[in-house]
Amino acid sequence: MQQDLDGKVVIITGASSGIGAESARQLARHGCRLTLAARQTDKLEALAAELGSDVLTVRTDVTRRDEVVAMVETTIERFGRVDVMFANAGIYIPGQAIEGDPDSWSNLMKVNIDGVMYCAHAVLEQMKAQGSGDILVSSSISGFVDIEWEPIYSASKHAVTGLVHTLRRQVAPLGLRVGLIAPGATATELWDKTDPDEIAQLTDVEHGFIRAEDVARAVVFMLSQPPHVTIRDLVILPQNQDI
C-alpha cells in the first residue's frame, strides 16, 4: 500500500527548472505543500503561480549554509514541519581535465556536495523531533559508474552517493529515510540549453534522453512508499543508454 502524499511538506532545491520543477508539479498534484528553492526567483514565482496556494518560494543559494538554514526555518514557520527535503540542485561540467578550470570545479563541488550536506543537516533536528522524514538526493548514474568524459561531475556524484548510503544508516533508527535518485541523460537545461524546443529535441530517438517528468514520476514513487520501506537508490536510464 502506498503512502498518501496529500498535505506533506516538501522542500525542493533546484526547483526553478528541470527535474526540480517537474517534481514540484507532480507533487503539487498529489496535494503536497511545497517550498521551492533556487536562485532565479522569477522562475520560482512563475512556477508558484502555476501551482496555486500552499507554495512558498525562497531564494536560496545552496552553497550558502546561512541561506539554506533560513530557508528551512521559513518553511517550518509557514507549514509547521518538513516531511521531505529533496536536495536536487546541481550543476554539470564535462570535458577533459587538462582543459578544465579548477576554480569552476571547486564551485561545482560546493553546489553538488556542500549544498546537499547543508540541506540534509538543516532538516535533521526537525525530522528527528517529528520521528519521520525523507531526505532525497539527486545523484546521477555518474555517481555509480566512473564516467570518463565528466570526471569532476562524476566525483561529486560519487560523494553524494556515499553520503546517502552512510547517513541513511545513521538516521534510520530515528524513523528517517535517506535515498537517492540516479538518472541517466535527462533532457533539461543542465545540458547547456535554455530553448525548450532544443531541450525537447534531446528526447528524440537519436539522442535518446529521458524527460524531467520521467524522473519526477520516480521521485513520487520513492516518496509514496509506506514508512517501513526505503528505496535507497533508484537508477533511471534512457532505455538504450549504453552505460
What are the catalytic residues? 153
Closest distance to ligand NDP from the beta carbon of 9 (Å): 19
3-state secondary structure at position 203: coil
Is residue 16 a contact point for ligand NDP (CB under 6 A)?
yes
Select the span of 11-19, 46-54, 75-83, 221-229 touching ligand NDP (CB under 6 A).
11-19
Is residue 91 a contact point for ligand NDP (CB under 6 A)?
yes
Is residue 222 a contact point for ligand NDP (CB under 6 A)?
no
Is residue 190 a contact point for ligand NDP (CB under 6 A)?
yes
How far is it, in rounded angstroms, from Cα 77 to Cα 127? 15
Environment class of 238 (CB within 10 Å of its CB; exposed 0-12, middle 13-18, buried 19+): buried
How far is it, in rounded angstroms, from Cα 122 to Cα 185? 29
Measuring CA to CA, which residue among 49, 41, 58, 3 is closest to residue 25? 49
Contact 212, 184 (CB under 8 A): no
| Biggest CA-to-CA distance, the chain | 51
Select the span of 36-44, 94-102, 119-127, 218-226 touching ligand NDP (CB under 6 A).
36-44
Task: For cell 566512473, name the residue.
Answer: 146
Among 2, 40, 170, 241, binds ligand NDP (CB under 6 A): 40
Select the span of 48-56, 84-92, 126-134, 216-224 touching ligand NDP (CB under 6 A).
84-92
How far apart, in Å, do the first and last CA atoms of the chain sit? 33
Closest distance to ligand NDP from the beta carbon of 123 (Å): 16
Is residue 57 a contact point for ligand NDP (CB under 6 A)?
no
Is residue 233 a contact point for ligand NDP (CB under 6 A)?
no
How far is it, in rounded angstroms, from Cα 73 to Cα 92? 29
Q: Which is nearer to ligand NDP, 114 or 128 (CB)?
A: 114
Is residue 14 a contact point for ligand NDP (CB under 6 A)?
yes
- C-alpha cell belonging to residue 16: 526553478
| Interface with ligand NDP in residues 121-180 (CB under 6 A) | 138, 140
- C-alpha cell belonging to residue 5: 502524499
Which spans of this chain sit near ligand NDP (rule: CB under 6 A)? 13-20, 38-40, 60-63, 88-92, 111, 138, 140, 183, 185-186, 188-190
